[in-house]
Amino acid sequence: MDASRLRLQLRTAGRQFALQLRTLLEHDAFVRGGVYRLRRRCGKAGCRCARGALHESWVLLWREGGVQHLRAVPAEETARWRRLAEGYRRFRLARRELLRQHRVLLELVEQLEAARTVAPPGARRK
């Protein structure tokens, strides 16, 4: 591929890299994990859950050091915690995409170097 086309691809990849970097540099707080609705039976024979109407609560679920943690989230705070968990998901997606784009940038730089390099006089061409 010619150097001009490689430079164009490199500029485009650089802009995409910058977009992901911008997401990573946001100031918004986030929380690791996710917010889920938990439905369960309590085990009491006469309870409504024994007839199928399960008890519901919202929980924050996350892993730390290979251990899964679960904390109840008050119903009135569910939206806030879901927003914080979504911020973490966006951060991780941007991080993964940034790494992928970094590899693309390096490959394009290597190709551009090869396209622009000329052999010294008298050297054998590959």
Can you give the pLDDT at residue 81?
94
Q: What is the pLDDT of residue 52?
A: 84
What is the pLDDT, as a whole number, of residue 80?
95
Q: Residue 65 belongs to what domain range?
A: 3-116
- Residue 73, domain member (yes or no): yes
With respect to residue 106, please indicate whether it lies within any of the assigned structural domains. Answer: yes
Is 121 inside a domain boundary?
no
Q: Given this model, what pLDDT does residue 107 score?
A: 93
What is the model's pLDDT at position 125? Answer: 63
User: Which pLDDT belongs to residue 126?
Assistant: 60
User: Does residue 9 lie in a domain region?
Assistant: yes
Whether the CA torsion 54, 57, 63, 64 is positive or negative: it is negative
**Number of domains comprising the chain:** 1
Q: Name the stretches of the chain with pLDDT < 70.
A: 125-126
CA nearest to 58, candidates 41, 71, 68, 42: 71
